């Protein structure tokens, strides 16, 4: 496994992973075009990938403009191998090296992602829209739960 910052050439792999997930699926893959991924990776924030045998199997993207986690997804064939936790750590370490602002994310109810974020120390603060739980993480919280 190789963990590294995402490159422009990773966008096809990122899109493949995003569209392969079984939870938090997109109703229409066209809702997240390549240009949006590029914007979040290089203008609004930064992203990381995990690759195995030169294939992207997971990715994470933090957004400094809206102070949120835009994406953290793992190819279902590679779940439960520590990839999500490692990407999460890389992303939050970078995020809090850039700003002290609280970061937030939304994820669907009763999903493995919701459980994952609780286990990583995120605090539920309410709803994001009508179909997602909203979580927040402060820099101080991250410093107490981070193992990276």
Q: Pairing state of beta strands 103-108 and 123-128? A: unpaired
99: CATH: 3.40.630.30
pLDDT tens digits for range 67-91 = 999 999 999 999 999 999 999 999 9
Domain encompassing residue 107: 2-145
Confidence tier at 6 by pLDDT (50, 70, 90): very high
Other C-beta atoms lying within 10 Å of the C-beta of residue 69: 24
pLDDT tens digits for range 20-40 = 887 776 667 777 889 999 999
Read off φ and ψ for residue 101, nearest 5 degrees: -70, 140
Could you give the maximum distance between any two Cα atoms of the chain, in Å?
Answer: 40
How many distinct structural domains can be found in the chain? 1
Q: Please report, to the nearest 10 degrees, the dihedral formed by the alpha carbons of residues 85, 45, 146, 26 taken in order.
A: -30
């Amino acid at each position: 496994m190789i963990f590294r910052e995402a490159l422009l050439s990773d966008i096809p792999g990122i899109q493949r992973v995003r569209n392969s997930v079984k939870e938090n699926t997109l109703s229409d893959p066209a809702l997240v075009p390549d240009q949006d991924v590029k914007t979040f990776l290089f203008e609004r924030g930064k992203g990381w990938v995990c690759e195995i045998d030169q294939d992207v199997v997971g990715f994470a993207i933090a957004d400094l403009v809206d102070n949120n986690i835009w994406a953290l997804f793992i190819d279902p064939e590679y779940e439960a191998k520590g990839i999500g936790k490692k990407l999460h750590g890389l992303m939050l370490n970078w995020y809090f090296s850039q700003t002290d602002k609280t970061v937030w994310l939304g994820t669907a109810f009763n999903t493995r992602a919701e459980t994952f974020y609780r286990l990583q120390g995120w605090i539920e603060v309410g709803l994001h829209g009508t179909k997602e739980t909203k979580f927040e993480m402060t820099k101080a919280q991250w410093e107490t739960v981070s193992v990276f």
